[in-house]
Amino acid sequence: MPEESPIADGQDTAREKAAEFEDRWRRTLADLDNLRKRFSKDLGRGRLASRNEAMAAWLPVLDNLELALSHAEEDTNPVMDGVRAVRDQAVDVLARLGYPRQDEVGVPFDPHRHEVVGTADDPDRPDGVVISVVRPGYGEDETQLRPAAVVVNRRG
Amino acid sequence: MPEESPIADGQDTAREKAAEFEDRWRRTLADLDNLRKRFSKDLGRGRLASRNEAMAAWLPVLDNLELALSHAEEDTNPVMDGVRAVRDQAVDVLARLGYPRQDEVGVPFDPHRHEVVGTADDPDRPDGVVISVVRPGYGEDETQLRPAAVVVNRRG
C-alpha cells in the first residue's frame, strides 16, 4: 500500500467532509422544495374539503324545506310565497359557492352525476335518459356533495 | 506576511468549504422545520376560514326564513309547523358545526359578542344589560360569524 503524508490525509478528510455536507445540503433543499409543493396542494385540498363538509350539512335543511313546500303547492298566501323565495335563495347560495343544483330531466344517464333509484319503460323517450329526478344533486366533480337520485328509461 | 505551503492552502480551502456547506445544510434544516410548523398552523387556519365563509353564506337564508315565519306566528297549519321545524333544524346545523346561536337577553353587554343597535331606559333592569335581541349572532371567538345586534339598557 502506498504511504500518504499526514498533511495529504488531512486534506482528503476535509474534502470528504465538504462533499458530504454539500450532499446533505442539496438533499435538504430538495426536501424543502417538495414540502412547499405538497403544502400548497394540501392547503387547497383542506380548504375545499372543509367547505364541502360545511355545505353538505345544509342539504337536509333544504330537502325538508322543499318537502314542506310540496304540501302547499296550491297555497298562494304571502307567507308561503316568502318561504318559496327563501328556498330559491338557498339554491342560489349553493350555486354561488360552486355547488349548482343538478335536476335536469331528458339528459342521458351519467354514473358520475346520477344515482338510479327507479326505472321506467317509456316507448316515446330514448333508452337511458333521465325521466324524473326524485332528489336533486348538488355540485359537480370535486365539489359534488351528492349525485341526483333519478328514474331512468330502460326500454325492455 | 507568513508564507504558506500550497498543500496547507488546499487543506484550508477544503475545510472552509466543509464549514460553508455544513452551515448551509443546518440553515436549510431549520427552514424545513419552520415550514413544517407553519404548514400545520396554516392548514388548520385555512380549513377554519373556509368553513366560516361557507357557514356565513347561509345566515341571510336563515334570517329570511325567520322573517317569513314572524308574519305567521298565529298560523298553526301543518305546513307552517313543518317550516318552523326546518328553521330549528337550521339553527341545530349551525350549533353542531360550532356556530351556536347568540340571542340571550338579560346578560351584560359584551363588545366581543354584541353590537348595540339601540338603547332603552328601563329603571327596573340593571344598567348595561341586554334588553332585547334584534338579530341573533352566531358562533363565538374564532368561529364568530357575526355579533348579536342588541338593545342595551342605559339608565340615564
pLDDT in tens, A9-47: 677 888 899 999 999 999 999 999 999 999 999 999 999
What is the distance between the alpha carbons of residues A64 and A38, in angstroms, rounded to a whole number?
Answer: 40
What are the DSSP E strand ranges found in A27-122?
101-102, 114-120
pLDDT band at B136 (very low <50, low <70, confident <90, very high): very high
Alpha carbon distances (Å) from B39 to A31, B25, B34 = 14, 21, 8
pLDDT band at B13 (very low <50, low <70, confident <90, very high): confident
**Which residues of chain A lie closer than 8 angstroms to B11, CB-CB?**
7, 10-11, 14
CA-based diameter of chain B, in Å? 106
Contact B60 A89 (CB under 8 A): yes
pLDDT band at B75 (very low <50, low <70, confident <90, very high): confident
Cβ–Cβ < 8 Å for B135, B63 = yes
Contact B35 A31 (CB under 8 A): no
- CA–CA min distance A106, chain B (Å): 31
Residue whose cell numbers read 353590537: B115
**Which residues of chain A lie closer than 8 angstroms to B40, CB-CB?**
none
Q: What is the pLDDT, as a whole number, of residue B77?
A: 87
Q: What is the pLDDT, as a whole number, of residue B7?
A: 58
- Strand-pairing partners, residue A119, are A152
Q: What is the pLDDT, as a whole number, of residue B9?
A: 67
**Which residues of chain A lie closer than 8 angstroms to B39, CB-CB?**
35, 39, 42
Locate B148 and state its grid cell.
348579536
Contact B50 A47 (CB under 8 A): yes
Contact A97 B48 (CB under 8 A): no
Q: What is the pLDDT, as a whole number, of residue B2?
A: 52
A60 → chain B, closest CA residue: B89
Q: What is the pLDDT, as a whole number, of residue A4?
A: 52
The three-state secondary structure class of B148 is strand
pLDDT at A56 over 60: yes
For residues B144-151, give the mean pLDDT: 98
What is the distance between the alpha carbons of residues A56 and A143, in angstroms, rounded to a whole number?
Answer: 10
What is the distance between the alpha carbons of residues A91 and B86, in angstroms, rounded to a whole number?
Answer: 15
